[in-house]
Amino acid sequence: MKLAAARKPVSREVRNRLKDFENYLTALVSRQPTAISIPCLPAVKAGGKRLRPALVIIAAGLSRLVDKNRLFKACAAVELVHLASLVHDDILDNAETRRGMLTINANYGIDRAICAGDFLFGLAFRLLSDSDDNTLSQPLARASLLLSAGELQQRQTLRRLDQSVSGYLERISTKTAALFVASAVMGARLAGAGKEVESALETYSGNLGAAFQIYDDILDFTSDEATLGKPVGNDIREGTVTLPMIFALEYPDNPLAAALSAPVHEAVAEAVAFVNACGAIERAKNMAADLIAQAKHAAAALPSGPTKQDLLSLGNYVIERYN
Amino acid sequence: MVIARLESALERVQRDFDRSAAGLVPLAQSLLKRPSLFLSKILMATILTGDREPGQVAVSSCLALEFLEQALALAAAHNESVEFNEDCLLVTDYFYAQAIDQVIGLGKPEIIGVLAGAIMAAAQDRAIGDYADFRKRLVGAALEIGFFLGEISGVWVSSLREATTSRFDGREPWIGLFPAGSIRDYLQEALTPVTQS
């Protein structure tokens, strides 16, 4: 399925800031020891949606007085934690490519990829410690702990058929949404926003992040290998039970159980086809859309201005992009 | 008297570590080793050299170092094993996050910077194939935090810094650079079996 072409999701000011940030991030990683920068730079330059730095920038837009250097350090910190998790995820998934580039583990080996991920994680907090009194480090540290705990908890639920929607939502709130929340909160704190605004941004970004993960999990069934950079049905192979699978498992005589316990090619293909046909995808999309609606409801409570507009627009973009 | 204070501080570290360990995700608990308190001894001893009383900030910093040691020990053991173990990678990441979490609420970004720097330096060592004592970067971190919290300066501090960076392999006789006295004697006795292993 081709991702729908979307209008620009955020304002020109945010887009320009993101472009400047892209240069900042590349320069930052370039300055690191070559044993780290050489393997990491292609991954950094390959780009990405940069949703987390975008959230920092958007939330920080609540004030016109945010120092650009501090802003970019915060953006870099969240993106480095995200990149570190992707580098290690690629090892765990035995992924050969990401965004059309060879992964670090494929190009340099597992050991180097582990080191690169560790280094990027340390760099994130080193960056913040230079100029922070903990207001920015604290939400990022919390998100990092939730993210790593979420990964461990996911290991314990691999291939289990008895998972609930609430359990899944709890899992993705730690694995994915936590870093979205940290991004928005860091932006809010840079802007000196009050507790009410910070709370609204937490609700917005938590729901946005959860919806984003659901759409990502849907794509594993509905997209194609060229777009994903890995075969369709990878979650079944890995044993990760996602929302579409939880819905599909409700149907009797579904082939998912067999595919999860023995993910051979034919079984996975049959399970993917079943998930697509049984209505599970539509239900998952509806849930994601509900979460976006909740996100937008939280954003609507913010003071009128570019930040509110960008957040609402970003919510619409996420829906359009994945439908 | 100062050794009694040191050992009392280490008891607090052990208690708090046990409390933290009880709250870990089960998979991480299964891979957790009994903490050696090697780094905590260095940090607490350094603070006491400045005749400061180690408070909660020092205890939390010790916990951070102990979790970093757990992470690096796991990474080192994993590196020596034949097969890649996914659980080890995930638990290592979790221990890193635990380490940072121990010091986040303390209002001391300098300590976060030292710990983050140690993570980076240890990763860089491994990236260039340097698998000498993984603790060496943490020794430097323990000393730096000890200097900071103990508000310590002086020639011996510079000498120790120099001895425990760049070419430090974890086994150099750095303990001898501490000022003569009961603390140095304590460290010589408490740490020599570890530094010689």
Can you spell out the DSSP letters for A84-144? Answer: HHHHHHHHHTT-SEETTEE-HHHHH-HHHHHHHHHHHHHHHHHHHHTT-SSTTHHHHHHHH
A70 contacts in chain B (CB < 8 Å): none
Confidence of residue B193 (pLDDT cuts 50, 70, 90): low
Interface subset of A 21-80, CB within 8 angstroms of B: 33, 35-36
B112 within 8 A of B103, measured Cβ to Cβ: yes
> Residue A207 CA to chain centroid, in angstroms?
12
B26 contacts in chain A (CB < 8 Å): 156
Question: Which of B140, B192, B195 lies closest to B163, judged by CA?
Answer: B140
Report which residue type is found at A233: G
pLDDT digits (tens, 9 = 90+) for B164-192: 876 666 666 788 888 889 999 998 888 76
Distance CA B141, CA A206 (A): 35
C-alpha distance from residue A10 to each of A55, A198, A207, A308, A314 (Å): 10, 20, 18, 11, 6
Q: Which residues contact A169 (CB under 8 A, 6 or more apart)?
A: A210
- The pLDDT of residue A58: 97
Interface contact flag, A126 B104, Cβ < 8 Å: no
Interface membership of A158 toward B (CB under 8 Å):
no
CB pairs under 8 A between A and B: 131
- The pLDDT of residue B169: 67
Distance CA A46, CA A43 (A): 5
Q: Rounded to a whole number, what is the distance in Å from the CA of B95 to chain A's nearest CA? A: 9
Angle at A104 between CA A102 and CA A109, to 5 degrees: 110
Closest CB to B96 among A92, A121, A151: A121
- The pLDDT of residue A130: 85
- The pLDDT of residue A231: 80
Q: Which residues contact B120 (CB under 8 A, 6 or more apart)?
A: A118, A119, A122, A123, A126
Q: What is the mean pLDDT of residues B88-108?
A: 95
For residue A125 the two structure tokens come to 């907090």
Interface membership of B73 toward A (CB under 8 Å):
no
- The pLDDT of residue B98: 97
> Residue B54 CA to chain centroid, in angstroms?
15
Can you spell out the DSSP letters for A181-196? Answer: HHHHHHHHHHTT--HH
Question: Which residues pair with residue A97 across a beta bridge?
Answer: A102
Interface membership of B97 toward A (CB under 8 Å):
yes
> Residue A74 CA to chain centroid, in angstroms?
17
Interface membership of B132 toward A (CB under 8 Å):
no
pLDDT (tens place) for every residue of chain A, 323 residues total: 222 233 578 899 999 999 999 999 999 999 999 999 999 999 898 878 899 999 999 999 999 899 999 999 999 999 999 999 999 999 998 888 888 889 999 999 999 999 999 999 999 999 999 877 689 999 999 999 999 999 998 888 999 999 999 999 999 999 899 999 999 999 999 999 999 999 999 999 999 999 999 999 999 999 988 777 778 999 999 999 999 999 999 999 899 999 999 999 999 999 999 999 999 999 999 999 999 999 999 999 999 999 999 999 999 888 887 77
- The pLDDT of residue A49: 84
Q: Collapsing DSSP states into helix, strand and coil, what is residue B131?
A: coil
Distance CA A81, CA A215 (A): 21
Interface membership of B23 toward A (CB under 8 Å):
no
Question: Which of A212, A258, A263 lies closest to A238, judged by CA?
Answer: A263
Interface subset of A 128-147, CB within 8 angstroms of B: 128-130, 132-134, 137-138, 141-142, 144-145, 147
pLDDT digits (tens, 9 = 90+) for B26-84: 999 999 999 989 999 999 999 999 888 899 999 999 999 999 999 999 988 877 777 88
Closest CB to A122 among B28, B123, B128: B123
Confidence of residue B134 (pLDDT cuts 50, 70, 90): confident
Interface membership of A112 toward B (CB under 8 Å):
yes
For residue A137 the two structure tokens come to 């480090």
